[in-house]
A and B are shown apart, each in its own frame.
Chain A
Amino acid sequence: NAGVMQNPRHLVRRRGQEARLRCSPMKGHSHVYWYRQLPEEGLKFMVYLQKENIIDESGMPKERFSAEFPKEGPSILRIQQVVRGDSAAYFCASSPNGLAINEQFFGPGTRLTVL
């Protein structure tokens, strides 16, 4: 059973470009979470999605950031017009359901560098 998959593992963008980060949850998991981690910092919750629904986006910046989890295919975190401050590691996690009792399984992350 493959774990959570994220691609690309490393992404370099110039200021003003768009970044698309993909996350495929573990088989059988329908709940996806996105986190951002700055160097030497903890993980900051961004958004929680189920298939075709955004459940909680309280951690998402109001502008330039969006997320989706379509019926088919991976979850996508999209950052438009990237700035240097967007440089970070972005982790996706999945769980079989949204109950707080469940552990979250993390993917390897996408390291975004904005030049």
Chain B
Amino acid sequence: GQQVMQIPQYQHVQEGEDFTTYCNSSTTLSNIQWYKQRPGGHPVFLIQLVKSGEVKKQKRLTFQFGEAKKNSSLHITATQTTDVGTYFCAGINYGGSQGNLIFGKGTKLSVKP
């Protein structure tokens, strides 16, 4: 079945350093979503990418969707302690139901002040 892989699994950074997490799918995706989960919390939607090669920015966060629509990345510039949490990518499964999200295992970000 379709798989979504995410690396790295963990990332420890000093406050102010940049952070990037990468997401790769075994098959072409129709769109990809990114979620953030704070420790002990629930996933919260960040953004959705639909078009090949799309780039979207939210303040210090930059999201990219690959040309082949099989990979994506999230880059955070100058991390802050409020960025702590686990970042998940989730791809939409072409072969499944329209609402079936396939989640990566996430990248857990810790930020040292």
A-B interface contact total, Cβ < 8 Å: 68
Mask: chain A, 89-107; 1 = CB below 8 Å from B; 0 = not: 0010101001111111111
CB under 8 Å from chain B, chain A span 33-79: 33, 35, 40-45, 48, 55-56, 58
Pair B43/A91 contact, Cβ less than 8 Å: yes
Partner of B104, one of A42, A56, A99, A104: A42
Q: Which residues of B contact A104 (CB under 8 A)?
A: 33, 45, 99, 101
Closest chain A residue to B90, Cβ basis: A43
A25 at the interface (CB under 8 A from B): no
Pair B45/A44 contact, Cβ less than 8 Å: no
Q: A42-B104, A101-B50, A104-B33 are in contact. List 5 more A-B contacts (CB 8 A).
A: A41-B106, A56-B96, A56-B97, A93-B43, A100-B30
